[in-house]
């Protein structure tokens, strides 16, 4: 799905930092990046991205927000900003999820199925998404490290710390640069008028210990 452009894309899901970009003609035409927290940086990053793109907020035709999993505060600040701007002038809001984004980017880079995407969560747990040998992705789950290892699958993560916990883990870059292409060629985006942060406790699958090894 391709959102109406120019589109303002907001990602506050990282443990540290905020990214905002203006998507136009299928590419980034302006970006704002900050290492500060979402409360301090989201609006400043949006202003920077718009300035680099030579646009104002009035020129934006849609908003896209990452709903996680990730920093609950950062996601909520980004979501509230998009909702507030869309209230001032009605424009559609779309959302994407970080685990599925890493999965699609990894598949596009040639990683064979099956594998599991693992991103750091709270209390030393890991948000996980199994990409099976065939078919749709499984539901996300929040797992202990030993549960991730018990899946018996290659691990892909954007966190450097994954290498120490999961032998052979592949650490990949955060797929921000690939988002314009992924939005246009995958089913990552869905319309959501009132985006909220994903709640692992309420919406994630319960881990059942089933192994997901590929064919021998």
64 and 87 together in one domain: yes
DSSP state of 184: H
102 and 163 together in one domain: yes
Look at residues 201, 6, 12, 206 and name the one whose alpha carbon lies nearest to residue 96: 12
In a domain, 211, yes or no: no
* pLDDT number for residue 200: 54
d(CA 133, CA 216): 12
In a domain, 86, yes or no: yes
125 and 187 together in one domain: no
Q: Angle, to 10 degrees, between the axis of helix 38-53 and the axis of helix 72-88?
A: 50
In a domain, 212, yes or no: no
39 and 93 together in one domain: yes
In a domain, 60, yes or no: yes
51 and 69 together in one domain: yes
CA distances from residue 98 to 10, 35, 117, 120 in whole angstroms, order as listed? 12, 19, 10, 11
CA distances from residue 146 to 149, 167, 201 in whole angstroms, order as listed? 5, 12, 19
166 and 191 together in one domain: no
60 and 104 together in one domain: no
d(CA 85, CA 80): 9
In a domain, 209, yes or no: no
Domain count, the chain: 2
112 and 134 together in one domain: yes
154 and 187 together in one domain: no
In a domain, 187, yes or no: yes
In a domain, 102, yes or no: yes
Q: Which domain holds residue 194?
A: 7-97+174-203
In a domain, 208, yes or no: no
27 and 83 together in one domain: yes
189 and 90 together in one domain: yes
* pLDDT number for residue 98: 96
Q: What is the CATH number of the domain that holds 190?
A: 3.30.420.40
* pLDDT number for residue 199: 58
Residue pLDDT tens, the chain, 216 long: 789 999 999 999 998 899 999 999 999 999 999 999 899 999 999 999 999 999 999 999 999 999 999 999 999 999 999 999 999 999 999 999 999 999 999 999 999 999 999 999 988 899 999 999 999 999 999 999 999 999 999 999 999 999 999 999 999 999 999 999 999 999 999 999 999 887 554 445 444 445 555 544
14 and 86 together in one domain: yes
């Amino acid at each position: 799905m391709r959102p109406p452009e120019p589109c303002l894309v907001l990602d506050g899901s990282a443990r540290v930092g905020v990214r905002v970009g203006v998507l136009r003609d299928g590419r980034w035409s302006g970006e704002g990046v900050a290492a500060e927290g979402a409360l301090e940086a989201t609006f400043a990053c949006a202003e920077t991205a718009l300035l680099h793109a030579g646009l104002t907020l009035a020129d934006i035709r849609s908003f896209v927000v990452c709903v996680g999993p990730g920093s609950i505060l950062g996601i909520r600040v980004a979501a509230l900003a998009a909702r507030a701007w869309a209230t001032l002038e009605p424009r559609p809001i779309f959302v994407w999820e970080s685990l599925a984004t890493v999965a699609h980017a990894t598949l596009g880079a040639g990683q064979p199925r099956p594998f599991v995407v693992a991103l750091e969560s709270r209390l030393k747990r890991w948000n996980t998404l199994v990409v099976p040998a065939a078919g749709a992705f499984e539901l996300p789950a929040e797992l202990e490290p030993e549960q991730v290892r018990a899946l018996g699958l290659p691990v892909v993560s954007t966190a450097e710390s994954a290498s120490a916990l999961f032998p052979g883990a592949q650490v990949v870059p955060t797929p921000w640069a690939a988002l314009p292409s992924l939005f246009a060629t995958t089913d990552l985006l869905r319309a959501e008028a009132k985006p909220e942060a994903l709640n692992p406790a309420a919406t994630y699958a319960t881990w059942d210990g089933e192994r997901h090894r590929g064919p021998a």
